[in-house]
Structure 1
């Protein structure tokens, strides 16, 4: 099978532009924009000791000296914290950074974390069977990497709006403890993917879906998860992306805010409902974004190795984008996938033969795919189609956003597609 890069993208813009009316920002909108602006202030540490200033180098040395008195053989994630391993410096610098290089505070945090990991048996939890199969790939899961190579952890608690599900998982204190252990297991699996190396990938990206999250019911669990992660996994998250942020986000934010450091808040990125794919594409390539969030990644795809790259494009308001898969030989089989963030566009596909006088073949007749249908599962979030060409030609995919209402037509949509071409095979089994 041969993967080809798209050869041309032709865009036809129909002129229906109407100047947008001015609007007043709501309190929640202003809050979300402020949180998004804060994200630009965060700068990830490189963990090169040579990049530290003199006081930071001194703090690192003092922390090691304190550690050698009471924890000479201590280790984390299989890495001895003393002995000169540069990976250990990465871990120690995380604790120092979390406490602004105050050695006493950093040591206290590290000391408590080592005790917690021993009591919790965190080093062995990755392989433990905890009995949460129904939550895997739904509530908390690792899926692919961002554009800079950080592993991405997705969190979605909307399933717990179902009371029976909630009671089954959080019905009593013992169940809550078991859930917290499972949530730590997911995080530990993600940490296994980190380099712990100066200049390497030393932190995760965390995406939290707030859609349908039962805020009051999960208050206790949320606070415990947050406290546990902040106390024992300092500087393990490079960016926190909140998606499908509902109108009550201000209340949720107020609830969490007292437990968050200013440095943690500076990592926040906020995406309200309807703006998920556009936000995620800024940080994660579409082939790594789950299908339910406007990407091309399906559950289990990554078990077969790295995903096939996709090409990104945008569909502006009132625009009809045409994508051409050109140079197709007769007898070739073509498979393509296409996704539009938020959909609510008309999609069609046709085969155009190279030979004059041949007829164009409608592969997919024009049909409107609306966002509501995607959300309820009435159709696949990703359109996937195959076609075998009997003669040479090209396939033209059309994404038409000219039929939307005037308001929706102003909304730019991000989209992605990829395709694979299997060329005809000769009778002796050798590919032409």
Structure 2
């Protein structure tokens, strides 16, 4: 079905929607048609993603778009990704890798390693600290997407449960997990190609399969559960897949870790402008 009329309708309302939100940056790009950094082609791609996420329901798309812009203005995810320094304790539980020779949707991968947590209170005890770190990784991953390239406008996500126990999750961990899932669901629609759950214990696999029966078909197709990590290479191939997951790179996950370097990574012009403005205002 052709949804070009729906797309044009929302694009024609951008100025008013941005004004209502009081903020005009979405996934690093300016959405105000009168703005200096506005790119109509990118805006069309991003709005189409939103329409798709909300089943081309115009009212839902408008509402969520405004909510997302408001949240981005308040939470400031760009600072979390590109300005703030996060505690190194988080490095062992979250990693991003680049997989340039991967298939569509697998060129950027984020890894969540639940079995590496020794002190749950230390990691999840300060929820805001955890959330800003995790959102920072998501924003850095989005920065590596190319919304002009249909083979690289989605990312993959891997949740590794090796060493984790279904019954060992503390109250802090459950709260952090629930909070980040809700945040990503509310404010990062239509960026994941698939979610892979690997090294899943038998009981968790049973509960996972039961849970899948209650989610929408479009979401269900994005969820893949694997009992063993090496099985991941049956779904994702390329230099960004570590050897412990069946990858052919011969490298470990930490060796493949993408580390953001502002001198080597090119940010969208509007992101650079917003960050420079923020730093200048803080200095003044």
Q: Same fold (TM over 0.5)?
A: yes
Out of 232, 237, 248, which is 1:279 matched to?
A: 232
| Higher relative strand content | 1
- TM-score for both structures, normalised by structure 1: 0.51
Name which of 184, 194, 199 aligns with 1:244. Answer: 199
1:95–1:110 CA contact under 8 A, matched in 2: yes
Separation (CA, whole Å) in 2 of partners of 1:219 and 1:179? 13
- What is the CA-CA distance between 1:153 and the residue it aligns to? 1.0
Indicate which of 74, 77, 96 corresponds to 2:24: 74
For 1:416, the equivalent position in structure 2 comes to: none
Q: Structure 1: which 5+ runs fail to align?
A: 1-51, 305-432
The answer to whether the Cα contact below 8 Å between 2:201 and 2:227 also exists between their aligned partners in 1 is yes
The answer on whether the counterparts of 2:108 and 2:156 sit within 8 Å (CA) in structure 1 is yes
State the match for 1:147 in structure 2: 103
Shift of 1:129: 3.4
Residue pairs, 1:83-162, within 5 angstroms: 83=33, 85-136=40-91, 138-145=92-99, 146-148=102-104, 150-160=107-117, 162=118
Q: Distance in 1 between matches of 2:152 and 2:258?
A: 21
- What secondary structure, in the 3-state scheme, does the structure 1 residue paired with 2:84 have? coil
* Deviation of 1:111 (Å): 0.7
1:253–1:132: structure 2 CA closer, same or farther, 3 Å change rule? farther
- Show the counterpart of 1:60: 7
1:155·1:208 contact (CA, 8 Å) conserved in 2?
yes
2:103 and 2:251 mapped to 1: Cα distance?
15
Alpha-carbon separation, structure 2, partners of 1:104 and 1:219: 33
How many angstroms does 1:200 deviate by? 4.4
Q: Contact between 1:130 and 1:178, CA under 8 Å: does it hold in 2? A: no
1:11-90 matched pairs, under 5 angstroms: 53=2, 56-71=3-18, 74-83=24-33, 85-90=40-45
Aligned residues: 240
What is the CA–CA distance in structure 1 between the aligned matches of 2:190 and 2:110, rounded to whole Å?
Answer: 15
5+ residue gaps, structure 2: 34-38, 260-284
Do the aligned partners of 1:142 and 1:186 also contact (CA within 8 Å) in 2? yes
Gap change, CA 1:303 and 1:69, over 3 Å in 2: closer
**Between Structure 1 and Structure 2, whose CA radius of gyration is higher?**
1
* d(CA) in 2 for partners of 1:91, 1:303: 25
* Mapped pair 1:270 → 2:220: no
Counterpart secondary structure, 1:152: strand
Q: Distance in 1 between matches of 2:181 and 2:216?
A: 12
Cα RMSD (Å) of the superposition?
2.5
Displacement after TM superposition at 1:80 (Å): 2.0
Structure with the largest fraction of helix: 2
Deviations 1:260-310 (A, max 9, x none): 54322211122113xx2233243222x422233233223335779xxxxxx
The DSSP-based 3-state class of the residue aligned with 2:6 is helix
Scaled by the length of structure 2, what TM-score is found? 0.75
